[in-house]
Structure formats: C-alpha cells, structure tokens
C-alpha cells in the first residue's frame, strides 16, 4: 500500500519541481537540438551574452529574413537588444516565445502576439513509489489494467526510417487534427546526431504494434515528442503503460524531468487529461512576442499597454 505525502511534503515537492523546471533548458534550447539543425543545414545563431540562447533563422518566401527564439529563459530582456546587435541580428525581425512569463519584453519594444500557454512537466527525481503516488486515481487504474494485460513492451533507439509506422500515424493525426509538428527529417536528424537519445517505446498485442511513444533526451531532461495508439491500444490503456515505462527508464538513467509539452484543454482535452493524470506540474510559458530591434524604442510605449496580457497568472 502506497503512503501519500502529507500537505507539507507535497508543498515542498511542488517547490522543488518549480525550481527544477526553472533551470533545466527546454528541447528547443538544447545542444542536441542545435546539432540536429546543423546536420540539416539549418542556420542558427548562438547568443553568448544570453547564456548561449539558440536563435534559429530562415528566409521567408519573399526572401525576407526571420529569426525565432523558442522556449529560452530570458531573465534580463534589457540585454537582448545588445546581444542581437553583437551577433548580426539587429535588422532581423524576431519571434520570441520565452520559457517563462516575461512582461519586461515590452520595455524593449516587443509586441505581444499570443497570450501565455502552460506546459506540463514530470519530476523524475523522486522514488518509484513517490512517482506512483502522484498519479491520478483513474490514470493509475488504467496503468494497473494495462500491466495485467498481455501487452508486450519494447524499447529501442528510433530507427532511421522515414517510413516507420509511427511517423505515418503521426502525419495522419496531424492532418486530421490540423496541427503541425516537426518534419520527419528533423526527428531523424536528431536521432542520428544524438546517438541513443531518441528512444522508441512500443506496445505489442500479439505481433502487432498497438501504441508507441518517442522520447527525446537532452542534457538532464527529456521531452515527450511523438505518440500514437490504435483503437486496440486505447482499449488496453497501452499509452499509460508506455508512459510509465518511459518515466521509470528515464529516472533510472538519471534524467531529472520529462517535458510533456503544452496543455491544450480546448483543442485536445483527452490528451490534456492524459498528461495531467501523470501528476505533472503545470508552469506558465511566456507567450509569443514580435520584436524588430530598430523600432524597439519607438514601439515600447505601445507594447507596455498590452503587457498585462503576458504576465504570470
């Protein structure tokens, strides 16, 4: 029988998770992601003045440059303009999506575009019993049911095969739900350039794969990247079993945190319930901003007008 932590213990654990998530870099700011981009010939710039923040760059259809800073911690936005100028990005429009609420971006003329969403992260630093105790009751019940079924679980490095069934299922799911994720080529480049850090967990019913989860490791963290379950897999709660297996394996390897990505209760309520059922901690991201450095000072009064939309709630 599991002992559930006391309110005081839960508060201490929550503070630990918040502290943990604030210092571990997201996938989009990792050295592993940088290597995958380089392998594909994707241009990027590193800002050493901003703790080696990764900036990706591209050309729009009209040939205009565009840069993106995604999931970066920006504790001192006032230094960003100088860093952009020092690294040849002064005249390039920038799309900013900070890791944390950052209303001070308005002070340098960044204009708010999209209000902050929240990301779910699982703390993997505790014991197996502690992780199991944080699972929501229905989630834990489904896990127990899956563990008692005849599902077989496998773990391997992601095959460097663009025709793998998980990619095909994910592409069909993206079209059905009208969203876009990484191109297959980028995922394969990540797996190739970061040996052993793209782990595929699969559940089989007989000889047939009925569910799969692809986890990308980066530094002391990992990210839930792609997942799919067939109708049989869903009926057997195979997704719960794979997630628990992935959590347990990552913890055994010394991984501190599993990032489950953005929670969207409106567009994907079922997936949101699944992620939250793991006992993951929610933390607010920083929203999306647009910045063109030459007009920063001119636009800062306008930006400050809407800065409350981008503040932490």
**For the residues 205-214, what does the mean pLDDT come to?**
97
**For the residues 276-300, what does the mean pLDDT come to?**
89
pLDDT in tens, 230-243: 999 999 999 999 99
- Distance spanning both ends of the chain, measured CA to CA: 37
Among 97-106, 185-194, 237-246, 263-272, which is the least confidently predicted range?
A: 263-272
Distances (CA, A) of 211 to 6, 31, 160, 200, 202: 35, 29, 19, 11, 6
Among 99-108, 206-215, 246-255, which is the least confidently predicted range?
A: 99-108
Whole-angstrom Cα distance, residue 122 to residue 252? Answer: 14
**For the residues 261-286, what does the mean pLDDT come to?**
93
Q: Is the pLDDT of residue 73 over 80?
A: yes
What pLDDT, on the 0 to 100 scale, is given for residue 300? 66
What pLDDT, on the 0 to 100 scale, is given for residue 304? 62
Q: Is the pLDDT of residue 205 over 50?
A: yes
Q: Which residues contact 191 (CB under 8 A, 6 or more apart)?
A: 157, 158, 160, 197, 198
The C-alpha angle with vertex 34 and arms to 46 and 262, in degrees rounded to 5, equals: 100
pLDDT in tens, 163-203: 999 999 999 988 888 888 899 999 999 999 999 999 999 99
The residues of the chain that CATH labels 3.40.630.30 are 119-284
**For the residues 215-224, what does the mean pLDDT come to?**
98
Topology (CATH) of 119-284: Aminopeptidase (3.40.630)
């Amino acid at each position: 029988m599991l002992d559930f932590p006391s309110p005081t213990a839960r508060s201490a654990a929550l503070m630990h998770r918040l502290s943990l998530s604030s210092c571990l870099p997201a996938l989009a700011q990792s050295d592993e992601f940088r290597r995958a981009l380089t392998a594909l010939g994707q241009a990027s710039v590193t800002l050493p003045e901003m703790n080696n923040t990764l900036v990706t760059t591209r050309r729009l259809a009209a040939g205009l440059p565009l840069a993106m800073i995604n999931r970066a911690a920006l504790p001192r936005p006032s230094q960003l303009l100088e860093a952009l100028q020092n690294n040849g990005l002064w005249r390039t429009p920038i799309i900013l999506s900070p890791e944390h609420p950052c209303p001070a971006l308005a002070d340098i003329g960044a204009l708010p575009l999209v209000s902050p969403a929240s990301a779910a992260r699982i703390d993997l630093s505790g014991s197996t019993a502690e992780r199991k105790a944080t699972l929501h009751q229905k989630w834990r019940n489904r896990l127990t049911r899956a563990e008692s079924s005849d599902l077989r679980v496998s773990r391997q490095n992601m095959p460097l095969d663009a025709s793998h069934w998980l990619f095909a299922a994910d592409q069909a799911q993206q079209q059905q739900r009208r969203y876009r994720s990484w191109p297959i080529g980028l995922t394969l480049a990540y797996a190739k350039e970061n040996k052993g850090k793209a782990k595929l967990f699969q559940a089989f019913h007989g000889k047939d794969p009925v569910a799969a989860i692809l986890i990308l490791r980066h530094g002391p963290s990992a990210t839930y990247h792609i997942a799919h379950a067939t109708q049989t897999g869903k009926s057997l709660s195979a997704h719960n079993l794979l997630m628990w297996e992935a959590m347990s394996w990552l913890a055994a390897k010394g991984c501190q945190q599993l990032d489950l990505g953005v929670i969207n209760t409106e567009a994907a309520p079922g997936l949101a319930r699944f992620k939250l059922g793991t006992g993951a901690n929610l933390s607010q991201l920083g929203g999306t901003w647009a910045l063109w450095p030459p007009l920063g000072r001119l636009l800062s009064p306008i930006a400050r007008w809407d800065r409350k939309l981008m503040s932490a709630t």
